[in-house]
Chains A and B, each alone.
Chain A
Amino acid sequence: MGNDAHTPDAAASVDFEQVQSTGQFQELRKRHRSFVFPMAVAFLLWYFAYVLLADYAVGFMSTKVWGNINIGLILGLLQFVSTFAITGWYVHYSNKRLDPIAAEIRNEIEGHEFDKHGNRIGEVNK
């Protein structure tokens, strides 16, 4: 039966390989990956560094900084802060750098259909 997830829709007869090879799509893909991959690596490293410290550097984590607040608690709370910050950063980046170009490509595909040679054929009534 093939994949039933997308029928019927405006994009059924689109030549996706042609769209994939356009500079515009390559740019979107590059922008997406150049943000999410380094960010994913960064927060995972930071998280595991924290877990390792809590696991193997108990003395360091127990150092009191202010009253009963120790380094462990501060680093733990910083995990919350960094999670919130990355969330906000990603939303900002998507709104500015990803959404406009994605919408452009989407409108182009849904407005015009591509034939197998990448030429636009006919307008789809919307």
Chain B
Amino acid sequence: MIGIATAVDVAALKETTLLNMGVFALFVAVTMVIVFRASRNNKTAADYYAAGRSFTGSQNGTAIAGDYLSAASFLGITGAIAINGYDGFMYSIGFLVAWLVALLLVAELLRNTGKFTMADVLSFRLRQRPVRIAAAISTLAVCFFYLLAQMAGAGSLISLLLGISDWGGQALVIIVVGALMIMYVLIGGMKGTTWVQIIKAVLLIAGAAVMTLWVLAIYGFNLSSLLGAAVETPNNPAVLNPGLQYGKTETSKLDFMSLGLALVLGTAALPHVLMRFYTVPTAKEARKSVVWAIWLIGLFYLFTLVLGYGAAALVGPETIRTAPGGVNAAAPLLAFHLGGPLLLGFISAVAFATILAVVAGLTITAAASFAHDIYASVISKGKADADTEVKVARRTVVVIGVLAILGGILANGQNVAFLVALAFAVAASANLPTIVYSLFWRKFTTQGAVWSMYGGLGAAIVLIIFSPVVSGGATSMIKDANFALFPLSNPGIVSIPLAFFLGWLGTTVDKKREDSAKQAEMEVRSLTGVGAEKAVNH
């Protein structure tokens, strides 16, 4: 029963389309009911943006896992391990270790000092206007690139899972995904979004666990024989060693360092991850959330190691490469090989639910940042009441949803990894230095924050524009032109140190001093939780 003799008949996948749609429809129906029920108590801004701060640490930790384990994690990493072996595994490690930055340096302090958005923390003791605007712009930039990646990913998933290969059909599905997401976020706010993420995380982790045990059982729960089979099927011993993908040239090795840096420093600076810490009542619960998230995410990435090598052994890299959807097809093909149409239907539905949940989380973050940071604090100069602010946030949700749908249709077929790497690199460059400096460096000033944020954001985006992902290569977005002056695909190794340097330089040459009383207040609040917003009781 082992080997390529039982290779998956790709054509048979299309026969399961109806089943896939059925399972997905069921997920949508169940979550919609929950979102409606959860939304009945949405009254204040704290309800809408932060779910009334009423989630427990374990609930929020599960939701964080649901938010973080995007389709790129599940389909992308399984596929990367199936094709590139060990190099795919190194993605999981970067994505997991990154959580220690969030746990040790960011989560609790952020929960204690902020209210709704990342900008609340960054502008706490600096001048409000410039810092808030900069933080909001980088939040919107990161969310938008992450959104585009998810929506574009939805398009390519569909070609595989629903058997829709024409452009119009895929566009229609992107519109449906976008419209559903707008409904969830509009009606349910943060509470509804959180529940969608919790349900999705449970389904995803359970599905991956079943498949993992199944694969291990085939090989008598012996990891070594699974690895042996993964070498045998494509007859390529290199899949167990590092370097298959990134070891080709000196440039590609450097590129991997750059990616590693962006992954490990980007997570704790992703605005949609940071915003989740506001949905719990205390810093202690924020800590518990991260602990839960680390366990769930770590466990999940261990599953993907087995699933990736399992797909290499049981399905084979050649079948995966030539399947519609390419690398992303590894996990669904493995599901089909193991459990036939039923398991494939379940896994496909989970993959859709994944995109929906992640997109919803990104949208509410972007909307909160626009309404709270730009509209309420800058445009109306604090004169808007909370009701108006939430109204603006809801309208922003619709605008962002429509933009994401249009962007997703245009970006359909584009290099998805490019957009995700951009989001991580932009987050690490634009946000992390300012987050760390403002929490831990007493002398940090407004000028340092503004230089670091705009410098990091600008450098990351400019370097990506002049990198091989945009032009000059076989897999570039623009194949016919070559203006790739920067040799690396990921800008992190340059833009992240640059942003840290600019934050230091901007502060050192700044003649103005910040208010030391505010610094004292922020430090005392961040470490003790004095005056932090409590849960809303209904």
Report the separation of the CA atoms of residues A80 and B294 in the bound assembly, to the nearest whole angstrom. 10
User: Does B472 make an interface contact (CB < 8 A)?
Assistant: no
Interface locus among B4-12, B113-121, B318-326, B338-346: B113-121
Q: Does B256 contact A (CB under 8 A)?
A: yes
Contacts of B222 in A (CB 8 A): 67
Set of chain A residues within 8 Å of B298, measured between Cβ atoms? 80, 83-84
Contact between A5 and B124, CB atoms less than 8 A apart: yes
In the assembly, what is the distance between CA of A17 and CA of B516, in Å? 8
Q: Closest chain B residue to A109 by CB distance?
A: B530
Give CA–CA (A67, B124) in the complex, Å.
56
A5 and B114 in contact (CB under 8 A), knowing A58-B247, A66-B224, A68-B231? yes
Hey, which chain A residues are within 8 Å of B276, CB to CB? none
Q: Are A102 and B224 in contact (CB under 8 A)?
A: no
User: Is the beta-carbon distance between B517 and A40 smaller than 8 angstroms?
Assistant: no
Task: Tell me if A's interface is mostly helix, strand, loop or mixed.
Answer: helix
Interface residues on A, range: 35 or more
Q: Is A47 in contact with B97, judged by CB distance below 8 angstroms?
A: yes
Q: Is the CB of A79 within 8 A of B96?
A: yes
Is the pair A109, B243 in contact by a Cβ cutoff of 8 Å?
Answer: no
Known: A47-B264, A67-B224. A102 touches B528 (CB 8 A): yes
Chain B residues in 8 Å Cβ range of A4: 115, 377, 382
In the bound complex, what is the Cα–Cα distance between A18 and B517 (angstroms)?
A: 9
Stretch among B85-93, B161-169, B390-398 lining the A interface? B85-93
CB atoms of B103 and A90 under 8 A apart: yes
**Inter-chain residue pair count (beta carbon < 8 A):** 177
Across the interface, do B528 and A55 meet the contact criterion of CB distance under 8 Å? no
Docked-complex contact B242 and A43, CB < 8 angstroms: no
Asked if residues A11 and B104 are in contact (CB atoms below 8 Å), the reply is no
A76 and B89 within 8 A (CB): yes
Q: Judge whether B228 is part of the interface by a CB distance below 8 angstroms.
A: yes
Q: Which of B97, B114, B224 has the largest count of A CB atoms less than 10 A from its CB? A: B97
User: A51 to B527, Cβ gap below 8 A?
Assistant: no
CB distance A51 to B256 under 8 Å?
A: yes
Known interface pairs A16-B520, A87-B294; A79-B93 also in contact (CB < 8 Å):
yes
How far does the alpha carbon of A54 sit from the alpha carbon of B93 in the complex, in Å? 12
- For residue B124, which residues in chain A have a CB less than 8 angstroms away from its CB? 3, 5
- Pairwise interchain contact B516-A83, C-beta atoms closer than 8 A: no
Q: Is the CB of B520 within 8 A of A72?
A: no
User: For A16, what are the chain B residues with a Cβ–Cβ distance below 8 Å?
Assistant: 517, 520-521, 523-525
Q: Are A54 and B90 touching (Cβ within 8 A)?
A: yes
Closest Cβ–Cβ distance, residue B284 to chain A (whole Å): 7
Query: Considering the complex, which residues of chain A in the window 57-104 have a beta carbon less than 8 Å from any beta carbon of chain B?
Result: 58, 61-62, 66-70, 72-73, 76, 79-80, 83-84, 86-87, 90-91, 94, 99, 102-103
Cross-chain contact of B247 among A11, A44, A55 (Cβ < 8 A): A55
Residues of A within 8 A of B527 (CB): 25, 28-29, 32, 102
Q: Is the CB of B86 within 8 A of A54?
A: yes
- Chain A residues with Cβ under 8 A from B290's Cβ? 87
Contact, CB under 8 Å: A106 / B97 = no
A1 contacts B by Cβ under 8 Å: yes
Nearest B residue to A99, CB-CB: B284
Residues 483-537 of B at the A interface (beta carbon under 8 Å)? 516-518, 520-521, 523-525, 527-531, 533
Interface string of B262-300 (1 = CB under 8 A from A): 001000000000000000000010010011001100100
- Give the A-binding residues of B (Cβ under 8 A): 86, 89-90, 93-94, 96-97, 99-101, 103-105, 113-115, 120, 123-124, 128, 222-225, 227-228, 231, 240-243, 246-247, 253, 256-257, 260, 264, 284, 287, 290-291, 294-295, 298, 301-302, 377, 381-382, 440, 516-518, 520-521, 523-525, 527-531, 533
Q: Can you list 26 A-B pairs with a CB-CB distance of less than 8 A?
A: A2-B128, A3-B128, A5-B113, A5-B115, A6-B115, A9-B531, A14-B530, A25-B527, A44-B264, A50-B93, A55-B242, A58-B243, A62-B242, A68-B240, A69-B227, A73-B89, A76-B89, A76-B93, A79-B93, A80-B298, A80-B301, A83-B298, A84-B294, A91-B291, A105-B528, A106-B529
